[in-house]
């Protein structure tokens, strides 16, 4: 047995130990035949299963015990994971052109698309790329703005000003202040594009845009067209919401601040990126917006604690026919923010061992938002367990939008009917109370749609060379105006780099998954509600207690990514095409109401 303490030099010991734990092998070891390809893939999956589990454990410890050392250990584990994936992906190109069964070909494709940042084969360039991404995320994470005569303000401070203040000058200060951080990222980003494109070409893609768009079971050039088709379906609803919000903001701030018929100034929408508008609900809410109950107050009056709230979420799934969560879930999850250490409070769901070691990590507060978030995160856990019998490369959602959509689908069932079933309210409020609830939801979900679409639209144009560094910022604001009807509150030039004021750009995290999730969750909800026998308005439907809906959901979840996503979509909805029509069904009462409010006033930009 190898003993770590027998080594004199720690680094040499660790490297030696890793060589035992994860032996290196090459595609050259396997013949360039279908059998050789399958043997190679089986070896890759076995090695990566162990590496992924080690990475998950290191990440969990770091998120729950943030120290200098745990950060280093987690970083090293991630570095090992990424470098191993990239190496295997490049070695897998040896089997390009080998005719193989569909399931095996699907695994090879998944391997090549396992990372959003393919590194060049040259070790010096690979190291440079890693350093650039670390530097970009570091610049973003440490970013602060110091107003004249004030203390430094970080992103949280500046976002709070946008969310809570109603003084346009203060909001402009916060909006502009955060965007003093991103210009320092611009030069790095330009080099990042060059190196990541080189890595993508070494995997057989034209550029990183083609690689990202190639993940969706259709020709890469067809995927952006599919997104625009979905957008055109929901655009009329967004335009109605945009016009209503613009008119309300104009009434509040005056004609000198908000135009009558143009884009909305970006700093007035309560969010640093104008991606969700619920923080301005108090300015735009209808006069009679009281839904007839306050879920936060109900939870507090019932003296609910964090674990009891999670138990309620679990009971939603068991009511559908799912097995309860394992005992280790309750032993190993983080539910309450500890008082004795730093933790990452951002809610997340984990499958540590790709089997039954499921966990959530949340600093739960007793309020309606976290009640909904719990249902969402448990959706991830039950999805993870449903496909844990699949091979490693099929232990993922059908496409990257499905995972987020499943969690949100369950959240859509938190309706007055569900609350009545739980005994939280005595009677379901009159439908006349629904407009306020629907408007508040639309300010999050409908307002988000164009933003969720344009982030990657901009990046794909950059990766493909259609947008050059000389036009980074110009192209960014052209897309924001085209899709969102948003404009900068002050002049922006190429001295700025506003795209990198969003974390996902600075950290190279793909974003289209969130747009897809916002479309799919309503399509899932409509189909499951129909299976559950819902006959009323879609926004009032809950699938709680429906074993039939639960069976349909469970069968789809169990597929993982073993089949093209249209097959998974067919399993849950009876159609192989994504359809935003369910959003229109859900928000139909709100659309009618918005159009009445907008009568006689400009619509569009």
Catalytic residues, by residue number, are 346-347, 376-377, 380, 404, 504, 514
3-state secondary structure 475-518: HHHHHHHHHHCEECCCCCCCCCCHHHHCHHHHCCCCCHHHHHHH
Structure tokens at 549: 């809906």
Q: DSSP of 128-182, one letter per residue?
A: HHHHHHHHHHHHHHT-EE--TTS--EEHHHHHHHHHH---HHHHHHHHHHHTTTG
Please tell me the distance from the alpha carbon of residue 240 to that of residue 227, in angstroms, as a whole number: 20
Burial class (CB in 10 A: 0-12, 13-18, 19+), 353: middle
Please tell me the distance from the alpha carbon of residue 35 to that of residue 26, in angstroms, as a whole number: 15
By C-alpha distance, which of 148, 163, 40 is closest to 104?
40
- No. of H helices and E strands in the chain? 25, 6
Please tell me the distance from the alpha carbon of residue 401 to that of residue 574, in angstroms, as a whole number: 18
Residue with tokens 């490693």: 392
Q: How many CB atoms lie within 10 A of CB 156?
A: 7
Structure tokens at 212: 């990202």
Please tell me the distance from the alpha carbon of residue 407 to that of residue 252, in angstroms, as a whole number: 36
User: Is the separation of the CB atoms in 299 and 308 below 8 Å?
Assistant: no
- Among the residues of 302-367, which ranges form H helices? 306-319, 327-332
Structure tokens at 377: 């995160």
């Amino acid at each position: 047995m190898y003993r770590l303490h027998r080594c004199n030099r720690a680094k040499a010991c660790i490297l030696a130990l890793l060589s035992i734990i994860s032996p290196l092998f090459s595609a050259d070891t396997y013949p360039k035949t279908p059998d050789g390809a399958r043997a190679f893939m089986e070896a890759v999956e076995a090695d990566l299963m162990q590496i992924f589990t080690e990475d998950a454990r290191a990440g969990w410890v770091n998120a729950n015990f943030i120290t200098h050392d745990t950060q280093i250990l987690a970083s090293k584990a991630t570095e090992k994971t990424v470098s191993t994936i990239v190496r295997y992906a490049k070695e897998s190109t040896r089997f390009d052109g080998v005719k193989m069964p569909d399931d095996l070909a699907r695994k090879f494709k998944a391997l090549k698309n396992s990372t959003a940042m393919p590194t060049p084969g040259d070790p010096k360039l690979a190291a440079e790329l890693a350093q650039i991404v670390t530097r970009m995320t570091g610049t973003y994470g440490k970013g602060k703005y110091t107003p004249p005569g004030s203390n430094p303000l970080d992103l949280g401070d500046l976002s709070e000003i946008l969310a809570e203040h109603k003084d346009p000058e203060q909001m402009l200060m916060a909006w502009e202040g955060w965007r003093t951080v991103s210009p320092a990222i611009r030069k790095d980003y330009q080099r990042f594009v060059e190196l990541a494109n080189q890595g993508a070409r070494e995997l057989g893609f034209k550029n990183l845009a083609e690689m990202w768009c190639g993940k969706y079971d259709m020709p890469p050039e067809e995927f952006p067209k599919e997104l625009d088709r979905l957008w055109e379906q929901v655009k009329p609803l967004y335009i109605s919401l945009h016009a209503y919000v613009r008119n309300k903001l104009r009434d509040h701030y005056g004609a000198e601040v908000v135009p009558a018929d143009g884009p909305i100034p970006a700093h007035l929408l309560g969010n640093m990126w104008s991606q969700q508008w619920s923080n301005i609900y108090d300015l735009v809410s209808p006069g009679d917006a009281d839904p007839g109950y306050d879920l936060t107050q109900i939870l507090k009056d019932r003296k609910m604690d964090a674990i009891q709230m999670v138990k309620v979420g679990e009971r939603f799934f068991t009511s559908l026919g799912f097995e309860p969560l394992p005992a280790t879930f309750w032993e190993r999850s983080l539910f309450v923010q500890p008082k004795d250490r730093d933790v990452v409070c951002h809610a997340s769901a984990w499958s540590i061992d790709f089997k039954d070691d499921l966990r959530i990590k949340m600093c739960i507060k007793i309020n309606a938002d976290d009640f909904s978030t719990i249902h969402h995160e448990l959706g991830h856990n039950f999805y993870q367990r449903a496909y844990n019998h699949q091979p490693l490369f099929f232990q993922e959602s059908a496409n990257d939008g499905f995972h987020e959509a499943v969690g949100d689908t369950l959240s859509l069932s938190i309706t007055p009917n569900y609350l009545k079933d739980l005994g939280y309210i005595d009677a379901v409020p009159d439908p006349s109370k629904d407009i306020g609830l629907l408007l508040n939801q639309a300010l999050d979900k409908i307002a988000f749609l164009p933003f969720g679409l344009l982030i990657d639209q901009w990046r794909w144009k950059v990766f493909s060379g259609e947008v050059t560094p000389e036009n980074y910022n110009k192209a960014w604001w052209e897309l924001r105006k085209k899709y969102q009807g948003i404009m900068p509150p002050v002049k922006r030039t190429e001295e700025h780099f506003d795209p990198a004021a969003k974390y996902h750009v600075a950290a190279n995290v793909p974003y289209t998954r969130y747009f897809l999730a916002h479309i799919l969750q309503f399509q899932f909800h409509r189909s499951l509600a129909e299976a559950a026998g819902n006959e009323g308005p879609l926004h009032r439907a809950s699938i709680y207690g429906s074993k039939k809906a639960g069976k349909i959901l469970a069968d789809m979840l169990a597929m993982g990514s073993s089949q093209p996503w249209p097959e998974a979509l067919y399993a849950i909805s009876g159609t192989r095409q994504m359809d935003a029509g369910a959003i229109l069904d859900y928000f139909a009462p709100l659309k009618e109401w918005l159009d009445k409010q907008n009568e006689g006033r400009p619509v569009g930009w």
